[in-house]
Structure 1
Amino acid sequence: MWDPYAEFQSATLPNGLTVYSAHWSGRPWEAMGFLIHSGAEHDPIGLEGLSHFVEHLVSKNTSISSKDISAFLEDCGGIVNFGSTGYPQTYYRFFVPTDKIILTEALSIFGHMLLSAKIEKLIERERQIVINEFRRRYTVKFRFDLDMREQKALYAGYWLERFVSPFGAPESVGRITQGDLQSHYDKHYTPANMSIVGVGGMTLSELTELLSESPFAISKKGMRTPIPNPVIDLVPPFETRYVFELSKHVIVTTPIEVGSYRSVTRIPGNVNTRAVQILSRMFDEVLNEEVRERRAWTYSIDSSWLNYRHFHEFSINCGSFALKAIDEIEEVVEVCIAFMEDREDLFEQVKRHILANNFMFDSTGKKVCDGALDDLADYQRIISLAEYGKDIERVTMNDIRDLLRWLRPEWRWTRIQRP
């Protein structure tokens, strides 16, 4: 089995910056990712959206404009991503030829951008762009209020009760000052709090040599943001069910003929993440069989899960179902959950499918780079496909049964949308 994640080698520069390299001999390109081990999770109370705001401004406060940086990289066939912010991390990426002159210039630009920026220019312009990014997602206020209600019910006392997304809200973004931006940058954008990933034609020694001669080699005080301890002592949400009537919030000109369903729970952060993955795949099969195929209530109903490191979030989602199901869908979902207890046949089938898919892994250098960045953000190490496969194999049906306790109604927050 080809296992590109097992091919990574690592080194640490004298200033504390860690470098991970997968050498693919003969490739004329290098996919590079730059990971800041801090994100929205680390925004101060009242300044939600600070990490995301900084990400917007980093490329706007260099000696070369972001437009000229893009043109430089695209002229040689490359591409650039000036940043994306998650809860635990912030990413930057580029993809360039392995030509030493081009790569040296690209690393010089990014090194200055990520370690030596003075956040002074275009602050008010980017503030409005960030706020408009929020408004594009929440075109009506009640959608934001619904998401906040969910967060506060599930995550009271935890940092997630303040967020519906890493970009904060207009009120908190509006409070952020230039001093806040520079302080956050100086604290988190340091070599010790950064990992660089390279996949392509450069060897680890070649990459570290180039980095050692670039602005990435500067000394700058800082420390690595630690991996948080998982939350294991959860308490039930203070609210478990909310019925939302759409017609009370919008002007209805035609009859509304559908409802929607969402139910969310938390799972302790110390459980095997692969067990949560298997549970989701199993549950999708059961939901599809019962709700779509047997009853024809909806086109799509599924589950999803997120790893917040402190805990996992597991949700059941049906964005649109026939109104005739409005008074029955909750009961049917409970039947599906109970049905999972005895589906050892489905458990074994899902495990086989995941392991077979793992064996058939095929990806590009850019995707392998992104996968390594994701692992480093969550675990501060890269997970090989072999290790992933062993984690899947270790999951038992009893692990699934243990997880099902967190899907009981008293542990979930459920929202029913009625006309």
Structure 2
Amino acid sequence: MRMQGNPHGNTALQSQLARVEHRRHIRAYALILPLFIFILITFVVPIFTMLFRSVDNPLPDRFLPETLALLSEWEAEQQPIPPEAVYATLARELGHSYQQRTIGKIATRVNYESGGTRSLIMKTGRRLSRGANVMMQQGNWTKALIKIDKRWGKREIWATLRTVGERYTLAYYLAALDRRYDWDGTIVAVPEYRRIYLQVFGRTFWISLLVTVFCGLLGYPVAYLLANLSPRVSNLLMIMVLLPFWTSLLVRTTAWVVILQKEGVLNDLLIFLGLIDDRIQLIFNRFGVIVAMTHILLPFMILPIYSVMKTISPLYMRAAQSLGATPFTAFWRVYFPQSVPGMGAGGLLVFILALGYYITPALVGGPTDQMVSYFIADHTNRSLNWGLASALGGLLLASVLVVYWLYNRLVGLDNMKLG
């Protein structure tokens, strides 16, 4: 005779287990909450702030609201210059901004879009502040502003003001791609003497690719030795690989300045060996940048490859050789394919780190060897063009995400082939 279970007792037990599991989840979330808040404050919020600054444009709308409202109704295709009301409103607002000492912010923002307009706006504000009463008696602000500077009679300056007046704009991203808005709103290339950022992005990717390749060529044999030598020798070699992490990045970079300079150790050694007669320039050029970055990023390539190689059993190589394969064939057909995931992970890590390098190229590179991070720092600290700095950072972030997506696609295709 089977005993019937108590359904009420089972329900109570399930409720008690659910409460215990719920409390466990709460404790787990409470433990990771500080880490989540730390990541949110130090990583997520700065990124969103940067992306917002790259499209935010608050200054003109704050200091020239009436002028910009009138300019939004101006049809530049039919009228070469705005009507008199726009000139009068601009004169009043520029004069007020000059007296309030805020005109410099407007002039700087407009100058980002069109070089040379800062002096135009500052001069106009100064003249309006000094002779406002005389000009007001004339009653024709169009002639008055054109008399101050002939550029006020051209359509381009007004189109620039209208573009700058947009509350949210893609102008910073266009500038980061060597593009700008024309007077009719179309996107055109900037003058050739101002086209630098596409070249900088190309240089950044090229240097990062070269550093990744050299780190792979140098790091693979070292990782192989680490994975296959005796534990005693392997541990000693691992200490040598990890030793650079205990030294400051700035110290490691300046050490290369000492080694590679014309009067440095390497030139002395080459002359002593009779390999060269005259000292050669090995620093403050592309060669110095690649050498220093390869040395600094090499451990980031070795460690992922080593972690994968350590899981490869030596029995595979022995089995291949017992079946008649030569040592090279066994390595190339059996061992190397199994180590490719480590090379992929190390290459991705090194490439992404190299994309954002700033200190090393700034110290050991020349003017034509600076990468995107240098210009981001320059616009943040010197020119104070935070919008353009944020746009460059946003494009660099997008490039990293694209590289990571391509890596995932390639790894996924490889896994499908292996499956």
Identify whether the pair has TM-score above 0.5, normalized to the shorter chain: no
Larger helix fraction of residues: 2
Q: Which has the higher contact order (CA 8 A, sep 6+)?
A: 1
TM-score (norm 1): 0.27
Q: Higher strand fraction: Structure 1 or Structure 2?
A: 1
How high is the TM-score relative to the length of structure 2?
0.27
